[in-house]
Structure formats: C-alpha cells, structure tokens
Amino acid sequence: MSKGTLKSAGSHSENQARIWPGAPNPPGAHWDGDGVHFSVFSRHAEQVELVLFEDSEADAPSETLALPERTGPMWHGYVPGLAPGQCYGYRVHGPYDPEHGHRFNPNKVLFDPYAKAVGRPLSWHDSLFGYVPGTNEEDLPFSNLDSAPYAPLGSVADERFDWGDDRPPDIPWEDTILYETHVKGISKRHPDVPPHLRGTYAGLASEPVLDHLRGLGVTTVELLPVHAHVYDRRLFEAGLAQYWGYNTLGWFAPEPGYAAAGLAGAVHEFKEMVRRLHAAGFEVILDVVYNHSGEGNRLGPTLSLRGLDNLSYYKNNPGQPRYLADYTGTGNTLDAGCPQVLRLVMDSLRYWAHDMHVDGFRFDLATTLARQHYDVDMASTFFTLVEQDPVLSRVKLIAEAWDVGPGGYRVGGFPWLWSEWNGRFRDIVRRFWRGDAGLQGVFATRYAGSNDLYRAPERRLSSSVNFVTAHDGFTLEDLVSYEHRHNHANGENNRDGHEPNYSANCGEEGPADRPDVLNMRERRKRSMVATLLLSQGVPMLLGGDELSNTQEGNNNPYCQDNELTWYDWELDDRKRAFLEFTKKMVALRRAHPSFRRRFFLRGETDEQGARDVFWWHPDGREMDHGDWTNHGLHSFGVLLCGGGLHGMDPEGRKREDDTMLVLFNAGGHDVTFALPAPETLLCAGAGSSQGPWEFVSGMDMPVLEGASSASGDEGFREGDRIEDGRITVEAFSTAVLRVLR
C-alpha cells in the first residue's frame, strides 16, 4: 500500500538548528520555561514529525519538524523558544497495511494522547479518515487528503497553579455518599448561577450549586467523563451530541467544552473547581474511560492512537489484525497487555490524582483492564501496578465491574482495594419495589451489603457501591413513570438503551395528573431512596433524582445535550416535598452509624446470647425459613442493634447507636406490623433495650387532592412514641423506628 505523498520535513541540518534531540521521558509536551520537550510512543513507525500551528484558527501548519531521535519506542525532540498555548500534532510515517494491522498515514495530523490541553477541537471532514470512505473496498484504499485543517490539536499547557492550602477531604468509605453528576447538566439551567458560568466547571463550583450539595448532605461528587472527547460523525450530522463524554480523545486534557474560560483556560478552571469543592468539604471522583477510545472500529477516523500505532494501542482479533476486538460495544478495545497502554493509563491516573488533586476514580467497563490477553484475569498486571503505586493505592477506586465480552461480568471479583458498582443491588431493589414476588431473601442480602458477593476475608461493606439509578438508564422519576423506553429522539428507532428496566408506570405511561397514580409514584420513589440510603455499603445518588428530573422515558440519553438531560430546578410542591424527603434520608444515614457499618452483619448469637440483626415478620416474630421462600409475603422488617457495631471510631471509641427498625411493605395493600417488645431484644454489645419504639420517618407524602391517603403511617410524626406496639405501613412504603439507648 502507498505511504502517502506528503513532503518530509526540512533537511537534516535545518532540522538540527531548530529542534534538539531531547529525551524519551516524560511523554507528552512539557514547557520548561525556555522551550518545549516533545516525546511520543510509536513502536512500528518509520518517522515521526512534529507539526506546529500558529494558533487554533490556522488551517495549515506553520512548521513541520522531524523528531530527531528515537530511544526504544519513544520519538522525541526539544524545540527552544516555544511556550504554553502552542498548538501541535504529529504526522507518523510507516506502512499502511490494514491486513496486518498497520494504519500509518502521514496525511493525517494526530492528537497527542498525552496532551494536557486541547488547542482545537475536530471539525468533521472526510480527510479525518485514513482510508477513502464510501468505496467497495471499505478501509483498504489509502487516503491522500490532508487532515490538517480539520484535525483536533493538542496545546502546550501552562501547569502553574497556586493550590494554597488545598487538601483532600479524606472521607472514610463508610461515611461516603456519592452523587453522580454531569458537569454541564447540573448548572446549565440553574437560575441562580450567572449565565456565563452555566454548564461549566466554574458553574459546578458556584455558590448556588455548592449550597444545594451542602443542603442535600452528599460527601463526594462523581463526575461523568471530563477527559477531552470527540463526538461521532453520525451524531454530528443528525444534530445530536456526545453528551456523556465516553468517547475519549485525550487522557490528560480536561474537556474544553466545559470551560467558561474557553480552550486556553480549561486546565486552570478545572483546578479551581476542585479547589472550591474541596474547600466546601466535597471529594471529587472522575468517571474515567481507559477501555476504549473515540476512534471507533476499523472504519472510524484516524485521530490519534490509530495513526500513532494501531497495532500496539488496540487489541486486534487473533489471526485477523485488520479487525479490532470489541469488548466495550464501541468498536475498539485498548490493549491492556501492551506496556505502553498500561503506562498511558497509569501516567494519566497519577496526573489527575497528583497534579489535578482529584480524590478517586470510577472506571468505566473496568473488567476490560483485566484482559491482559483476551480472557479476564483478576491477577493481571494492571491491578498489581495500582496496588503498589504510592499515589493510586491511596485514592478511592470504583469499578464498573463488567464489560460486554465473554466472562466480563465480575461483580464481587475485584481486588481488595476496589469498590464496585453493584448492579445486582440496582436490579433487586427495582424489582422488589415494583412488587415482584419471592424476592425478600435476596432483597435482604442486598440490603445487608451483599455478603454473598463481597464477604471475602480482605473485603468490607464499602466494597459494594449501591445504586438504584445512574446516568445510564431511567431517572428515578422515569423509573416509576414508564414501563417502556422512549428513545426515538436518539435516531436509532428506539432500539438503543438498556433492557430490562424493571420499571413500573403506576397505572399510566408517562406524565400523569391522576392523584392515585402520583401518590403511588411518590411512595415507590421514597421507598427506593430510603432503601438506598439505609442499606449497608456505599450509596450513590444520581444527580437530579432529588429534583424529580425526568428524561421523558429516554433511558439512553448519551446524545442529548439539551433540556432533556439538564437539571430542571423549577420545583412544584410535589417535587419540593421529595427533595426534602431525600435530604431527610441522607441526614438519617449520617446521624446513625447503624446504617453505615464498616463490617458485615453477622446475624449470629454471640457468647452472651446477643445478636446484631433481627429480621422481623409483620405478625410480630422473627422471620423463619418458610417466610423467606413465601411468594405471597411482600413485607418484613430489619432490626439493627445499635450496640452491635463492630470496630471502633477514628478516635478509638466503641461505635454505638440507637437500635433501629426499618419496615418494608412492597405489597399492594397496607400492612400492620406487630413490633418487637424492646425489653425482649438482646442486642449485641448493648444488652436488652428500653422502649417504647419512637417513630423516626415515614413517607412524608405531600397532600395530593383526591388521593386515598396522605400519610401512610397513621399520621405519626418524628419523635412520636408508639405505645400500643403496632404500626400500619401503607402499600409500597417504608417506615423507620428506633429505640433510644
């Protein structure tokens, strides 16, 4: 195949005068005050050229310089006189031989995966493809079109920043409450955020948003991807966007589209956001994508890794290197068995933790990183590197514990340092509160921290990150309003999006005015939020759920950068009441260590005959084996003994709490519970408790005209004593009681 017809850089003597040899490390572009050092990886290249642009508006390079030296697989050079803000890319020469996995094309200007700033976003054009699109030979014909006017460019970053007294909040796992949000979505429609800051890093860190997060009571903000990303051509041509940001272009550069200060100010503004969040007491966790890039399958564009060294960066099909292995559903998979890919991942993680001061990471499709070859191996090099790393072993690590390849579902299988998104918690909680029969046993297991998944000797309750909703899927409001996905706006004939949803519309699909439908929706929402926040493990709230946000039944709005996904801050009485209920549940969790234990419940009698947990039947007795398998039973309770908290607090004191009782009624009829007599309960570490029971929380329902009930718990208020030992819990509702120590 042809290698292209572009002229090479200037003569050796001219090149030598302008660019010095430099060194192989560190990779990327680094300004030292006098010039810029460049280094890039390509094991199979024959020549690498540095392409310099005058500014982000330039259609053609101002200068092209061949990197003068190669050390191992690293091509490098030093250009004196360059400064921050310099836009650049690379042209890489080598064989264009797709049948053998090589896709070098020096007509394509390539983005540096180590670039710490974006100098220019891409503009879609046929020249961005390494082959000639639209021919019968698919990806085989070599493209001679020059992509210089359209390719994304890196920019040399000025990394100077005064962090002052910034320090990580270091919130213990057992006290952590995650809040998953999109940088743009949370502030784009906020009426109190200054218009020029809405939808930006600065908008997220503005006082109105910080006030909301403080009032809600969450501890840790988990941001959807902020690495610089690209958007699919199909979406661009359809007038859609890559809203979620999972199509990564550069693993060091913050996405410039979220910067109020524009391209030049993204790095500084991101750091300022982190500093302000830390000052307000919040941790910052990034959702990171190291399993694939935004270049798609073999028919995708040549923007960066594909042109730098396709055979090294991507995992190819065994015996068919023209085709890419796809364990991610995106068309490509980064090769975690390649040392340079592992270095890219580790360097990126350390940069964001050390230089950008973030507090942890949530890894998209993390199982892919365990595919050192093709099968999943939890003893792979990546996990070893993380465990021994002095920086990364100290931050929060959360795995999305699956990918789409064979053997890829590994919930419960990650090493001890890791917490995991517990997709089984999500599914069972949804099904239980939908009213599915026979789930009380597995629901109790999920509520208690999923010890069937995580009770290995080296793991704790914090291994389970519990969630009911996330960015991927229905919002909580839609989970109780739609039984079918409504994704037509995505342009894929409603075929996209996760199934099954385990949702229930409560009698009417979509928006409703009927009081009985709204009442049922509010009860189910409250019960799922209460379950989430009062379960053992680490809870994660989906940002916007507390505001009753809807996406109109779209369970895959990855391409909807509009009012469908931006948070709606205009609250009516019903939405305001739900916000207050969510705050109350967060506060309840934070006030009672019974709900945020460090160690698994034992459920066994100790030497003194005491227990740390009782499972309670509505008839006024402990649950027995037959109850757990009774498909007609939808109601039961869990009694958590406050004296049975194992371990000590950070100051070495014994952890104790009130004895708490949570009652669940997931059936279609009200259920009256006969409460246990507190004086008969022998609780571990506390002996018998003193009564009577005190009401803590019910559904706190708004008054909906025409609804059959507005209280659901016989009108009890917080602090009321239940003298007769009985309480009625409304259908699809939850109640919380306690006995004071």
Active site residues: 364, 400
Is residue 130 a contact partner of residue 147, using CB atoms and an 8 Å limit?
Answer: no
Cα-based distances in Å from 74 to 80, 110, 595: 20, 16, 52
Q: Rounded CA gap, 110 and 146, in Å?
A: 11
Q: How many CA atoms lie within 13 A of 464 on its CB side?
A: 32
Residues sharing a CB contact under 8 Å with residue 257, sequence separation 6 or more, in sequence order: 121, 184
Number of H helices, E strands in the chain: 16, 32
Q: How many CA atoms lie within 13 A of 647 on its CB side?
A: 13
Q: Rounded CA gap, 128 and 107, in Å?
A: 9
Q: Rounded CA gap, 711 and 177, in Å?
A: 28
**Residues 580-584: contacts with CB under 8 Å, at least 24 apart:** 580/700, 581/526, 581/529, 581/699, 581/700, 582/216, 582/529, 582/541, 582/545, 582/546, 583/215, 583/216, 583/217, 583/546, 584/697, 584/700
Neighbouring-strand partners of residue 91:
49
Q: Which of 328, 293, 318, 413 is nearest to 373 (CA)?
A: 318
Structure tokens at 544: 């916007």
Q: DSSP character for 353?
A: I
* Helix, strand, coil percent content, the chain, rounded in steps of 5: 25, 20, 55
Q: Which of 488, 485, 473, 463 is nearest to 545 (CA)?
A: 473
SS3 at position 91: strand
Is residue 141 a contact partner of residue 132, using CB atoms and an 8 Å limit?
Answer: yes
Q: How many residues does the chain have?
A: 741
Three-state SS string across 556-578, please?
Answer: CCCCCCCCCCCCCCCCCHHHHHH
Q: How many CA atoms lie within 13 A of 287 on its CB side?
A: 26
Structure tokens at 683: 């609780």
The beta strand positions in 302-452, using DSSP E, are 316-317, 320-324, 360-363, 396-399, 419-421
Structure tokens at 609: 């005959």
Q: DSSP character for 332?
A: -
Q: Which of 232, 225, 287 is nearest to 254 (CA)?
A: 225
* Direct distance between the N- and C-terminal alpha carbons of the chain, in angstroms, rounded to an integer: 80
Residue 7 has a CB neighbour count (10 Å cut-off) of 7
